[in-house]
Amino acid sequence: MLQRQFPNPVELLELMKFKKPELNGRKRRLDGALTIADLRTIAKRRTPKAAFDYTDGAAEGELSLARARQAFEDIEFHPGILRPAPNVDTSVEILGGASALPFGIAPTGFTRLMQAEGEIAGASAAGAAGIPFTLSTLGTSSIEAVRDANPQGRNWFQLYVMKDREISYGLTRRAAEAGYDTLMFTVDTPVAGARLRDTRNGFSIPPQLTLGTIINAIPRPWWWFDFLTTPSLEFASLSSTGGTVGELLDAAMDPTISFEDLEIIRGIWPGKIVVKGVQNVEDSKRLIDLGVDGIVLSNHGGRQLDRAPIPFHLLPQVVREVGKDATVMIDTGIMNGADIVASVALGAKFTLVGRAYLYGLMAGGREGVDRMITILRTEIERTMRLLGVASLDELHPGHVTQLTRLVPVSQSLVDAAAAASAT
């Protein structure tokens, strides 16, 4: 028989612990975000559809982005037991300087369209966290403004080679004079990818007030208030706006970009130079032979060539070939600190986050970016402790297995032939 009794009022009072209500709506909103996916949900609720979809979307059928994210989900960790790691060191030396975490903020274009604080929020949050911030050629804050927002931190500059080469040369010199320590030479955007969400939404720079955008803005008046009451968008690399993102990119970018352009920029830039957008082993080897300081394995977040190689799958092959001679970094698809830990275990020296950063920005401005960094830091530290490693240097390929969904047909035939011959 279950024995019952009347509740003791004193014991009831001890159980009744009410949290003090948080009156700050932004803080309450962000405190409730436990994952990057939570930040994305908040961002979608607070941002007009066209601006949100510009961040969230990718090229054509968005297969490259989906596959990149799936690749990180399709891993198996192999923890060690009885290896206490009560304190973990997440710091790393990257490109001649320190970073408190094994990730930095990736370059993103048109950022103030996502949220009015834009790159200033990203740069200041990165500086406070001790990680690098990368300003895009198509950023909406100037090279000097970002430097002023992050005066003691590490600022990197991402460069597109424009049809008017003097624009690119001038931006390179300005970034050097402003104290940026690394140049990210981007090679995967000779023309714009087919970003169909932007076309369907009629997304333009600057955004136009149409019946559709007005209706969409009704539940989001704060976004339009910020947009209309802050300085107009300015682009250091664009002399005119007024079209879709694809039209602007096609008008500015040069499909004739070549290794010769890389050599010219190297002659101008005094600091470290990294090539972003590398997607095969052969190009990786050639670039290292040319003496670049590092490469970023990237398919531009799936926003250029759909069905492009998955950077995370490519990582072990490239590290085997050039990892001893150069800094190999990775982006595209990172949504969790565990993704970063897996990348480091497989040989990446560093990672870059773009959409995760913008989800945080759209969810809550500077505080949202701070929250994004906190979420990823917490996930990195927890994953390291559960693996039984106290520092990033202790991670190695044995900690991770990449599970396979997509197997090249040619490899399947080879495996089948090998099995047949074995019998």
C-alpha–C-alpha distance, residues 122 and 142, integer Å:
13
Dihedral sign for Cα 274, 280, 283, 288, please. Answer: positive
| Tokens encoding 147 | 């430097």
Residue written as tokens 């990195």?
380
Choose the catalytic residue: 300, 313, 396, 399: 300
DSSP per residue, 335-354: -SHHHHHHHHHTT-SEEEES
**Is the sign of the CA dihedral 317, 320, 326, 332 positive or negative?**
positive
Could you tell me which of 294, 31, 248, 223 has the C-alpha nearest to residue 137? 248
CA distance 253 to 4: 77
Phi, psi of 192 (to 5 degrees): -75, 140
Closest C-alpha among 149, 108, 41 to residue 368: 41
**Active site includes 78?**
no
What is the residue type of 250? D
CB atoms within 10 A of CB 37: 13
Residues tagged active-site: 300
